[in-house]
């Protein structure tokens, strides 16, 4: 029997990607359609996947919805885990530890360095007792997502201090800040704003000790995603990139179709976009 953290579902998924040189998608969802779209795409592509929600879901839909997601994900015919993204409030992380998550991303980017280390380390230790692995952000990525407050100002991750920070906190996965932003990029996009050399140095400092997570992928070309993978990214967070066509379909067809038809077609459109990204990330066929 595997011991923690090797027994953890998210850990297994991300470390398989680390060993085999691909990335797995962390797909942000807001409703049942999103949950079904991820699982169906993963099963069709024979791909591992991570279903992600924000703390908004904890408060709006509640822990019973999280339990539904976990039950559906863990019943899939391929490895699928459930992850809570961007716990900006310590109270949300505490709440999440008593829910059915496989992993939690704690965001201490708004604290000073020592406060951030203390916060992340505390959640890592509490998570260990529950069998939950922890992702954390080092530095700060500006911008926002639907369901998250907008963050002003970036703070880039220092490659020189990253190994020490990971060792002091004990985090399992690291989300670095290297010019990536949440939400739309400024003019020039990721091609202009990503500091790829910084990402490469961060990966070089950590190796497989803490696989890297890419935040800020909208919009982001397939080629830039591959650049991230080539420089150590093993989990890629995806939200609007895979959701936009689904949202456009709902806006155009709501009121024209019966609700059952709207949901069935919507999930199909949503899952097709996810499948395309699974091919880009290299996760298709890995499960």
CATH code: domain of residue 166 = 3.20.20.70
Evaluate whether residue 122 is within a structural domain. yes
* Contact yes or no for 41/274 (Cβ under 8 A): yes
pLDDT: is 141 or 164 the higher one?
Answer: 164
* Assigned token pair, 52: 């992600």
Adjacent-strand bridge partners of 51: 27, 82
What is the pLDDT of the chain when averaged over all its residues? 95
Which pLDDT does position 250 carry in this prediction?
Answer: 98
Owner of token pair 């999103």: 34
Evaluate whether residue 2 is within a structural domain. no
Task: Give tens-digit pLDDT for 91-126.
Answer: 999 999 999 999 999 988 778 889 999 999 999 999
Which pLDDT does position 184 carry in this prediction?
Answer: 85
Could you tell me the residue range of the domain that residue 25 belongs to?
9-281
Is pTM beyond 0.75? Reply is yes
Catalytic residue among 85, 98, 112, 158: 85
**What's the CA gap between 231 and 225, in Å, rounded?**
10
SS (H, E, C) 29-85: CCCHHHHHHHHHHHHHHCCCEEEEECHHHHHHCCHHHHHHHHHHHHCCCCCEEEEEE
Residue 102 designated active-site: no
Evaluate whether residue 286 is within a structural domain. no
Binding residues for Zn(2+) are 86, 107, 137, 182, 215
Q: For residues 106-119, b (16+ Cβ closer than 10 Å) or e, as one string?
A: bbbbeeeeeebbeb
Evaluate whether residue 256 is within a structural domain. yes
Task: Give tens-digit pLDDT for 54-72.
Answer: 999 999 999 999 999 999 9
């Amino acid at each position: 029997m595997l011991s923690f953290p090797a027994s953890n579902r998210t850990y297994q998924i991300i470390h398989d990607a680390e060993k085999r040189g691909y990335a797995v998608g962390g797909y942000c969802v807001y409703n049942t359609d999103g949950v079904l779209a991820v699982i169906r795409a993963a099963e069709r592509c024979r791909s591992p996947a991570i279903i992600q929600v924000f703390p908004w879901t904890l408060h709006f839909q509640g822990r019973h919805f999280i339990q539904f997601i976990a039950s559906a994900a863990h019943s899939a015919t391929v490895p699928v885990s459930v992850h809570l993204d961007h716990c900006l409030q310590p109270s949300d992380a505490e709440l999440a530890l008593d829910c059915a998550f496989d992993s939690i991303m704690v965001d201490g980017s708004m604290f000073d360095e020592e406060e951030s280390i203390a916060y992340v380390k505390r959640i890592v230790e509490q998570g260990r007792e529950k069998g939950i692995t922890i992702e954390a952000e080092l530095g700060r990525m500006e911008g926002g997502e639907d369901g998250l407050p907008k963050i002003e100002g970036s703070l880039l991750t220092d490659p020189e201090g990253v190994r020490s920070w990971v060792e002091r906190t004990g985090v399992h996965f690291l989300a670095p800040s290297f010019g990536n932003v949440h939400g739309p990029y400024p003019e020039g996009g990721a091609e202009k704003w990503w500091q790829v050399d910084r990402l490469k140095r961060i990966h070089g400092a950590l190796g497989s000790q803490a696989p890297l997570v890419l935040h800020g992928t909208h919009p982001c070309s397939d080629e830039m995603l591959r650049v991230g993978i080539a420089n150590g990214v093993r989990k890629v967070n995806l939200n609007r990139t895979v959701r936009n066509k689904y949202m456009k379909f709902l806006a155009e067809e709501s009121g024209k179709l019966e609700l059952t038809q709207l949901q069935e077609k919507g999930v199909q459109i949503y899952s097709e976009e996810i499948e395309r990204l699974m091919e880009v990330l290299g996760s298709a066929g890995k499960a």
